[in-house]
Structure 1
Amino acid sequence: MSASDDASGPTLQAIVRRVEGDEATLTLFNDDVNREELAALQSYFDVQTVSFRRGRTEDGLPRNFLVLHDDEEFRAAASLADVFPAIDPNSSMLAASEPDGIEYPDLLREIDQSVFTDYGRRRMTVASREIEEHAYRHGGRLHAGFQSLSNAKPQERLYRNLAAADDVETHLYGAGDWTPPGDHVLHESDDPEILRSWFVVLDAPDDRDKRALLAEERDDGRFYGFWAYDPDIVAVILDRLTAFPPTAGSGL
């Protein structure tokens, strides 16, 4: 029996289709950035439910300042220098191996729920870093789906360090074409639902720390999905993941 035949809730792909994005606006004030940086910003938000705009203040200060708002309601602000490392297509976060060295911008955490429509693998990796870093700092069960476990090879050291951290239990999902080193609970599966999904889900002790990134690969290397900080949405995803029980590791 495939996982789609059991009673553990909607499939991962169905969850992606049901979630609606948080409609917010991010305005860059008084910018003097180069074309490449501006293009990276526009590209990052063009495929999200967050609208990106440019604006100016009367005195032209401060320079290169970002404000996140919903209609007229202020939500967060930060300098572009603080946010750009998570937006840069060549972000240093891609090669992160030490969880305590990940610095994810607080402003992006304020986007409660965002749908994205065309993320490549590099952008998916950077987007996952916020949840991985949060797991390291707050503990919990971290569920990560790589489609195939061999896709975790570039992140092997990071996940080995996460598994060794206090109060973190790592659950890795994917086709069993490789055995990741470290104290992980493996959920090996060649079910199409797993092979088409990329996810990082933190089941933290405190509801305020629960979060999830879930995406479906609709075209080769292109992902459609969302991230959310709503514990109810996280619970729906976790319920679905029970359809893929542990096959190896310390969870048996």
Structure 2
Amino acid sequence: MADDAAPPLPDIVDRVDERALTLTLYNVDVPRSVLQDIQSYFAVQSVDLRRAATDDGIPRNFVVLHDDSEYLAASSLKSLYRVVRPDSPLIDVSAPEEIEYPELFRHIDQSVFTDYGRDRMVVASREIESSAHQLGGTLHAGFQRLSNLRPQYRFYERLAAAGVDTHIYGRPNWTVPTDAHTIHAYEDDEITDTWFVVLDAKSDDDKRALLAEERDDNQFYGFWTFNAAIVDTILARLNAFPATGPA
């Protein structure tokens, strides 16, 4: 089954070249609990968090992402917090068109994270799922166990109905009650111990992926990337696990 042209998924996690970025919060006047939530979110990523103020103190509550001295993106603190708060509404969203994901997160490329729980993994996956809905293409989603699709069943049905070619991976412990998805049911540890969402888009500029390994119970170590070469490496490895069921 192994594909000699691509390393196993856990090895891809270990080999990614980490990119360290800086996120600066300007003119902040929000409750301390909000700042603690933001700090907690980025503490397990390769993103340094800083606070600063402009000379005139305006605009209030905005954030800037940069790579050394290179500006990458900006966002309001409010839209950032909507994603990173522990009870983010993105966890339970049921329709792809309802996802609001700040452009800033699309610039956190090859950021390595540690100790992500399942809720954070769901939120991180939303950017790629939303992009699939907007851009089309083929979406490969690893759920570890097929039964983990249940809470997101309606969401993925809408993706398929919108024309996204959806491929679902996981241990065969549940029968997916539709033929709208291509099923890849495997007992292999490589599938059951990893979480991935990979968009194979028509344009290299639109390809993106999230890949993580569960190294402890409900603790994931991994990264997300917009680097087409890395995405293609992940896709090449997934070719080692051909479809076992519809569509």
The TM-score range, normalised by the shorter chain, is over 0.9
Q: Kindly provide the amino acid, as one letter, of the partner of residue 74 in structure 1.
A: Y
Hey, what does 1:76 align to over in structure 2?
73
Assess if the C-alpha contact under 8 Å between 1:12 and 1:240 holds in 2: yes
| Deviation (angstroms), 1:85 | 1.2
Assess if the C-alpha contact under 8 Å between 2:3 and 2:236 holds in 1: no
2:140 paired with 1:173: no
2:20 paired with 1:23: yes
| Deviation (angstroms), 1:180 | 2.5
Assess if the C-alpha contact under 8 Å between 1:160 and 1:181 holds in 2: no
Q: Deviations over 1:102-149 (max 9, x none)?
A: 111101111122110110000000000000000001001100001001
Q: Kindly provide the amino acid, as one letter, of the partner of residue 144 in structure 2.
A: Q
- RMSD value, Cα: 1.1
Secondary structure (helix, strand or coil) at the match of 1:248 reads: coil
| Deviation (angstroms), 1:152 | 1.3
Q: Deviations over 1:41-80 (max 9, x none)?
A: 1011111111111111122211111011122221111111
Counterparts of 1:21 and 1:44, CA distance in 2: 18
The total of aligned residue pairs comes to 246
Hey, what does 1:154 align to over in structure 2?
151
Counterparts of 2:3 and 2:227, CA distance in 1: 25
Q: What is the aligned counterpart of 1:128 among 125, 128, 146?
A: 125
2:85 paired with 1:119: no
2:172 paired with 1:205: no
Q: Deviations over 1:129-176 (max 9, x none)?
A: 00000000100110000100111111111001101112x100000001
| Deviation (angstroms), 1:179 | 2.1
Counterparts of 1:117 and 1:92, CA distance in 2: 22
Structure 1 residues 25 and 70: CA distance shift in structure 2, 3 A: same
Hey, what does 1:187 align to over in structure 2?
184
Counterparts of 1:186 and 1:157, CA distance in 2: 16
Q: Kindly provide the amino acid, as one letter, of the partner of residue 165 in structure 2.
A: E
2:241 paired with 1:227: no
Secondary structure (helix, strand or coil) at the match of 1:249 reads: coil
Hey, what does 1:86 align to over in structure 2?
83
| Deviation (angstroms), 1:86 | 1.1
Deviation >6 Å, runs of 4+: none
Tell me the TM-score normalized by structure 1: 0.95
**Identity in percent:** 57
Counterparts of 1:93 and 1:78, CA distance in 2: 17
Assess if the C-alpha contact under 8 Å between 1:8 and 1:243 holds in 2: no
Counterparts of 2:202 and 2:96, CA distance in 1: 19
Hey, what does 2:10 align to over in structure 1?
13
Once structures 1 and 2 are overlaid, which stretch shifts more, 209-218 or 60-69?
60-69
| Deviation (angstroms), 1:181 | 3.2
Q: Which runs of 5+ in 1 are unaligned?
A: none
Q: Kindly provide the amino acid, as one letter, of the partner of residue 137 in structure 2.
A: G
Q: Which runs of 5+ in 2 are unaligned?
A: none
Tell me the TM-score normalized by structure 2: 0.97
Counterparts of 2:228 and 2:55, CA distance in 1: 41
Counterparts of 1:8 and 1:174, CA distance in 2: 22
